[in-house]
Structure formats: structure tokens, C-alpha cells
A and B are shown apart, each in its own frame.
Chain A
Amino acid sequence: MKFDTEKYKILFITEAREHIENISKILERSKESFTEEDLNSLFRDAHSIKGISSAMGYTDIAELSHNMENILGKIRAGELLLDDNIRKILIKVTDKLWTVIEQIEKNEKYEDLQSLIDSIKNFQVVDKREDKNKISERAIVRIVFYDNIPSLSARAFLVYKNILSFGDVIESDPSIESIKKGDFKGDLCIKIIIKKTIDSLKKYISQLGEIKHFDISFEKSKEEKIGPEDLKDIGKPTLSKLVKVDVNDLDYFLNITGELLTIKTQIKENLKEIENIEVSNALNQMEILLKDLQNKVMKIRLVPLDTIFSNIPRWVRDLSEKLNKKINLEIKGEDIELDRSVVDALTDPILHIIRNSIDHGIESEDERIRNNKNSYGFLKVQATKEKEKVIISIEDDGRGIDLEKVKKTAIQSGRFSQNYINSLVEKKKILNLLTTPGLSTKETVTDISGRGVGLDVVKNVIESFGGIIDIDSEINRGTKISLILPSTISIVNILVFKSGDFLLATPVDRIQAINKVKIKDMYTLFREKGVILYNEEYIPAVYLNEKLGLKGMKDLNSDYLLGLVLDIFGKKTAVLVDKIIGYREVYLRTLNKPLSLLPGFYSSAILGDGTPILIMDLQGIIS
């Protein structure tokens, strides 16, 4: 029976990607040897890719993954040792699979795999173990020290270091780093691939004077025969505790939970007059439970940044090869979690910044050597969590951004007046110019970056989640771009205000101050713009209703207006509104078309009394 492959294509692509990502992750971290667990996982992944691609009729992808499986099988059987050569081949296959899947996704004809398949097929098993008599076994060594010996950590450190001469340590508990800090407690467990004989290791440990006892156990290798003892463990099949959930269902849960919270607020507000302790207790209980439920749902939606970060080594490898640059990459904080929607949206911005770094930031090897720099460029991608914020920073040690050039391009772009640009002295303000559309300091647009998303798009994406982008650069020292994001997105404090007859809101954290402005103190320049005095400084002021073209002019009977003071690229601006209603805690929901097409509005919310309200991006509107 021939089934409709189109229908399964998306599923195939998602699944294949998952496996490929897994493989690259393991390849990245295993420089010299695989742990048994990793090897099994690699084997499974290659096998799965083979299975699904042959089911889809992609026979050459199946063949490629089959050959990969073969190599892994040989490593597992001990016929092949993982060396640089084999690692490179595995990486090459993985990269190729990635490209091909991408092409399939775009409905392009994917490239020919035959030459790569042939080259792996012909790959000779040259690197057999040099000495067949050498025993290579995985052992777990456990050593318990007397706890009263002086300098216990140093003792353990010495033992660990000496055990290294018997083989490769795969894992140790506690880690050598924590022993080195001096807080070793007495129990050392080391997983090791033994290169010398077990007896020599036993002899070494047994002559140690300071240990209470030790034991060495072996991990069973696959070739060992299974005896009846082993069958005991094979009991009933255990069901996995995890289930796959459609993201849309998660969105639905989150929405419903948000709605329930809103309804609860509505009930509470309507019941204000009725004094009934039981009702209000029940309501409080409900509030606690709902918040709990909401937290849980939000937590389920969190995904680790690893889903993006695991791609970075490949991106960097591809780009540096293409541009012929040498780069050392460091990635940190991949286990930090963010809301799924944020992680999804961050992929392109991060890729863009990395491209920029490698293309424009990091110099060619020759140039670096000429400037007395390490011939390898350094790129660091790091995520850190600070209270409710997650900061993702991308830092290079390249040539940095030339502020004068930025100013020059800004003037040339025609978006700014020469006077304004020349008045800028602070570095941050000048660097911030780079986030305006159409501004790139590189005169020639290369194939790699300078197209596609620009820093302005990056900024928009980040700001749509209530985040901020921060650029820092030092000429000849490098550039650091930080994306500062809220760790969860949905509940925010908003300031509700009235402009003309319209009820509007904006996130509280965007507003620096609220300033009462006497109308007679306003200096109106022309229709929608004026100047007000704020902290003994004249700042521009904009009538929101006129800027939006809203009907219902400012209340001419009132003596004063309210200025919401904003910081736009370090420049203060006041947005004039008629009335402040107050702060509210709301659940933000995304706008759908056609409302999402409105410039300056990025989400909506329902207030406690059931009134729908649009949430504005005031910065966006003004700048």
C-alpha cells in the first residue's frame, strides 16, 4: 500500500531533526571517547533516522544513516576507536543530514548523497586497537577513605590523579573540580575505561594506606552471554512517565487558565459588597489553586535554551569554514529554561548575531596575527538567569564596532539629522542606532549576513516579549550583544490609562515616571508635539490621541495632562494622556489578525471587570 507521504512529512522532519540534534550534541561533547550511554543513544538515533527515512521513501538518506550506524556499531564492538578522523566523518554525516532535511522541508530537491555514502563505505577500519592483548574494560572503582585523615581532599586528589595513569576516567563522583575545592567527604567513585590491567589497578589501590575499603565492579559489555540471573531484571514493561503533547494544547491550557483567573477577579469584584466569609474563603482558596495550576502550566511550557544552543556549534562550524576563519566557541547556560514561544522566536535573532560576529566582528587569521591577537577568534554564547530575567549574551573578541562609522552611516541613511547624530556622545546611544532599520556599517553586503533579519528585527522580536537588547563594543577588543528577557511571559503589570475616550494600557516597567503637566506650562511646537519640563530638563512631549489619530480630543476643561515619561534610546520623551486609571495585573494574550496589524499594539488583555484592553508599545509608536 502506498501511503500519502506528504501527510507525514512534517512529522518526519520534526522527528529526524530531534535525532540529528541529539547526535550533534553528543558528538560535540565527546572529544575522545563515548560513554556507553552516549554510544547507545547515537546508535538508536542513527537507527531511527534510517527507519523513518526509508518509510518515507528517502532511500539514500536511509543508506547514509545505515552507514553511520555501521561505524557506530564498530565503535561499540571495540573494532574502532573514536579518533579525530572518525569524529569528523560523523560530524560531516550529521551536517549533511541536517542540510538535506532542511531542503526537504523547503520542498527543494535535496542534494546527492551518493559520494558521501561511498566515502564512508570505503572507510577503512585502520584504527584498530594497537594491542589486542591490552584489556579495555569499563570499571567502576569505589574507594572509601578514612574520614579522620588530614588533608583528605588532597589525598583523594592524589589517588584520582594516579588512577588516571591506568585508563581514561569517564566520570567521577564527586568531580575532580569539587575535590580540588577542598570539600571531599570520603567517598570516591570513578568510572574508568581501563587501559592497563585490572590487577595493576587493584595492586595500586590496595597498597593505599588511608582507605577503609574499596571495590571494583565491571559494566557488562553487550557480547556477554545472558545468564538466567540477568533475566530476573526483565520484568513487566515499564511505561514512560513522559507523554508528548501538542504545543497548541499547551497554549490552550494556558489561555484557559488565564481566563479562569480573569473570571475569578470578576467574581471577586462583583462580590465586594456581599460580606460572606464562606464565599470569600472559597474564592481565596480558588485563587491559590488557580495560581498553582497556572504556574504548573507555565512550567510545562518551559524549554531549555539547549534547543537553540545545540545548533550553534554547527552554525559556527559552517560559517567559519565558509569565511575561512578560525574560531574557538564557548557555550554556557544551555540548561536555562524559557517559555517555548520565546525560545522559538529567538532562533533567528541569535543566529543573526552570531553571523554578524563571525562575518564582521572576528577578523581573518592574518589580520588577527597582525594585530597581535590569538590566531583563533573567540566567540562566547552565554545564558544566565538573574531573578526574573534571563540574559543571553553573544560576545566576540573581534574588531569591535567603529562608532564614527555608525554615525556616518546613520546620517547617510537620511533617517536622522546631522545635528542630532553629532550631538550623540554616549557610546550606548550611538550603538543603539544600529537597531534602526536599514543601518549596517559594513559597506559591502556579504553572502552571509547583512541580509535577512537585521538588528532592528532582532530588537523587535526581543521587545515583543517585553525584553531589551543591549549592545556594547570596544574597538579592536570585540562586541557583546545581550538579550535581556523576562523568564516567563504571561502575567504582567500594566498601567491602564485613558487617551481621549479610549482605554489603553502599557507594561508598567516601560514607564520611568508619571509627570503631571499643567496645560499652560506646555510649549506646543506644532500639532502633536510639544515640550514639557521634567526634572529641570526640557523633554519632548507627544499627545497620544493625536499621534494615534484617535477621536475625542484632550479634555479641554481640565487644567492638566499626564505625561508618561519613557526612555527611548536613552532619550526621555513624555507621552501625554488624559487620565490614569491604575495598575492591573493581567494575563497577556497575543493579538490575531487583523488587530495584530495595528502598529504600536502588541497584545491584549481582559481587565477584572471584563473590559478588553489593548496593550501598547509606546516606545515603538514614538520612535
Chain B
Amino acid sequence: MKVRVLICDDAEFMRNLLKDIFTHAGFEVVGEAINGDDVVDKYKILKPDVVTMDIVMPVKSGIDAVREITEYDPKAKIVMCSALGQEILVMDAIEAGAKDFIVKPFTSEQVIKTIKKVLESEV
């Protein structure tokens, strides 16, 4: 069965880039969310295997979204997509329940490796 991914980013460019990477690797992108509120709603409906989450977004931040999703599903596997200079925010997200993170700019190989690691992890 294909790995089901939910992508959350307010930038269309990033969503498309990630979508390409995942599709190429044989994952199924089950949905795209454009802000923190949107992703929480879509997570509950789509129940994806893994979520990629931008940190700074309008309406609701990625960190708050992580917190809400983890509250709803403590086993949720969320990978943060961060940029340089967002290190402290990444740690806040980890504290909120994020399982791993990738730092932009990233290669498709790094993204897939991190997603696979998170999916296999028992931690």
C-alpha cells in the first residue's frame, strides 16, 4: 500500500515541489492544506500516514497545528519543514509533538529519507 501524505504549506510553490518529490518516490499525496486550521481539519478527515508542515503560516501557525493534531491523535507523524534561522521554532514544534524536521533548501533524497525514518520509527 502506498504511503499517504498530507502536505501543509501556504506557498503553492512549496506544495507543488513536495508533491512532485512524493509522487516521484511512489507516495500518494492525499491532500494539500494552506494553513494551520486547514491542516487540522484535513487531518481528521483524511487520516494520512504522515504530514509535512510549514512552520510560519497565516491564520494558525504550524506549531499550533502540530499541538492540535497530536492532541487528536497522539501517534500522528508530523515532519516540520523549516528554514534556516527557525531553529528555536523547530524545537517548539518538537515539544508540541512533531516527530522530525527537514531544513530548506532540501534535496528530494533528504525528504524521502526523513519521511521513511519517521514511518519506521518506534519512538
Chain A residues within CB distance 8 Å of chain B: 150-151, 153-154, 157-158, 161-162, 165, 179-180, 182, 200, 204, 207, 209
* Pair A157/B94 contact, Cβ less than 8 Å: yes
B91 touches A153 (CB 8 A): yes
Contacting residue for A154 out of B87, B113, B117, B122, CB 8 A = B87
Q: Which of B46-88 contact A (CB under 8 A)?
A: 82, 84, 86-88
Residues of A within 8 A of B117 (CB): 207, 209
Instruction: Give chain B residues whose Cβ lies under 8 Å from the Cβ of A154.
Output: 82, 87, 90-91, 94, 101
Q: Are A204 and B123 in contact, with the CB atoms below 8 A?
A: yes
A-B contact number at CB 8 A: 41
By the criterion CB–CB under 8 Å, are B90 and A151 in contact?
yes
Q: Please indicate the chain A residues that have their CB under 8 angstroms from the CB of B95 in the complex.
A: 161
Contacts of B87 in A (CB 8 A): 151, 153-154, 182
Q: Is the CB of B94 within 8 A of A161?
A: yes
Q: Quick one: given A204-B123, A209-B113, A209-B117, are A150 and B91 in contact (CB under 8 Å)?
A: no
Is B100 positioned at the interface, with any CB of A under 8 Å from its CB?
yes
Give which listed residue, A162, A180, A207, A209, contacts B91 with CB less than 8 A.
A180
Interface contact A151-B113, CB-CB below 8 Å:
no
Chain A proximity of B109: nearest CB distance (Å): 11
- Cα–Cα, bound, A151→B123 (Å): 21
Task: State the Cβ distance, B70 to closest chain A Cβ, in Å.
Answer: 13
The answer to whether B101 and A165 touch across the interface, beta carbons within 8 angstroms, is: no
Kindly state whether residue B103 has any CB partner on chain A within 8 Å. Answer: yes
Contacts of A204 in B (CB 8 A): 121-123
> Could you tell me if A150 and B94 are in contact, using CB atoms closer than 8 angstroms?
no
- Chain B: CB-nearest residue to A162: B123
Interface residue count on the B side (C-beta < 8 Å): 17
**Given A165-B123, A204-B123 in contact, is the A158-B88 Cβ separation under 8 Å?**
no
Instruction: Give every chain B residue within 8 A of A209 (Cβ-Cβ).
Output: 113, 117
Chain A residues within 8 Å of B84, by CB = 150-151
Contacts of B113 in A (CB 8 A): 209
With A151-B82, A207-B117 already in contact, the answer to whether A182 and B94 are too (CB < 8 A) is no
Which residue on A lies nearest to B113, using beta carbons? A209
Docked pose: A151 CA to B86 CA in angstroms: 8
Whether A158 and B103, one on each chain, are in contact in the complex, defined by CB atoms closer than 8 angstroms, is no
Which residues from chain B contact A165 at a C-beta distance below 8 Å?
A: 123
Which residues from 92 to 116 on chain B have a C-beta closer than 8 Å to any C-beta of chain A? 94-95, 100-101, 103, 113
16 A-B residue contacts at CB 8 Å?
A151-B82, A151-B87, A151-B103, A153-B87, A154-B87, A157-B90, A158-B94, A158-B100, A161-B94, A162-B121, A180-B91, A182-B88, A204-B122, A204-B123, A209-B113, A209-B117
- The CA-CA distance from A220 to B88 in the complex, in Å, is 37
Q: Distance (Å) between the CB of B96 and the closest chain A CB? A: 11
Chain B CB within 10 A, most for which of A158, A165, A200, A207: A158
Residues of chain B within 8 A (CB-CB) of A200 are 122
With a cutoff of 8 Å between Cβ atoms, the chain B residues found around residue A207 in the complex are 117
Report which residue of A157, A200, A207, A209 has the largest number of chain B beta carbons within 10 angstroms of its beta carbon: A157
Q: Counting chain A CB atoms within 10 Å of each CB, which of B86, B87, B101, B117 scores highest?
A: B87
> What is the bound-complex CA distance between A204 and B86, given in angstroms?
26
**A166's closest neighbor in chain B, by CB?**
B123
Q: How far is the CA of A181 from the CA of B6 in the complex (A)?
A: 31
A518 and B3 alpha carbons, distance in the complex (Å) = 97
Closest A-chain residue to B94, C-beta based?
A: A158
- Complex-state Cα separation, A209 to B102, whole angstroms: 12
CB closest residue in chain A, given B114: A209
Min CB distance, A622 to chain B, in Å? Answer: 56
Chain B residues positioned under 8 Å from A179 (CB to CB): 91
Distance between Cα atoms of A180 and B91 in the complex (Å): 7
Distance between A262 CB and nearest chain B CB, rounded to angstroms: 57
Please determine whether B88 and A150 come into contact, CB atoms closer than 8 angstroms: no
A151 with B101: CB separation less than 8 A: yes
**B103–A150 CB distance below 8 A:** yes
Report the Cα distance A204→B122, complex, angstroms.
Answer: 9
**In the complex, what residues of B have CB within 8 A of residue A182's CB?**
87-88, 91
With beta carbons under 8 angstroms apart, the residue of B91, B121, B123 that contacts A157 is B91
Q: Which of A153, A154, A179 has the most CB of B within 10 A?
A: A154
Once the chains are docked, how many angstroms separate the CA of A200 from the CA of B122? Answer: 9
Chain A min CB distance to B52 (Å) = 16
In the complex the two chains form, what is the Cα distance from A157 to B91 in whole Å?
7
**Interchain CA distance A157-B92 in the complex, whole Å:** 10
Q: How far is the CA of A182 from the CA of B90 in the complex (A)?
A: 11
Query: Which residue of the partner chain B has the closest CB to A152?
Result: B87
Give the residues in chain B near A150, CB-CB below 8 Å: 84, 103
Q: Please name the residue on chain B nearest to A163 by beta carbon.
A: B123
Residue of A nearest to B98 (CB): A158
Query: Considering the chains assembled together, what is the distance between the CA atoms of A154 and B91 in angstroms?
Result: 5
Alpha-carbon distance between A204 and B123 when the two chains are bound, in angstroms: 8
Q: Which residues of A sit under 8 angstroms from B86, Cβ to Cβ?
A: 151
Chain A residues closer than 8 Å to B90, beta-carbon distance = 151, 154, 157
Cα distance A466–B123 when bound, in Å? 59
Chain B residue at minimal CB-CB distance from A156? B91
* Contacting residues, chain A, for B82 (C-beta < 8 A): 151, 154
Nearest Cβ distance between residue B37 and chain A, in whole angstroms?
Answer: 25
Q: Max chain A CB contacts within 10 Å: which of B100, B101, B122, B123?
A: B123
Q: How far is the CB of B101 from chain A (nearest CB, A)?
A: 6
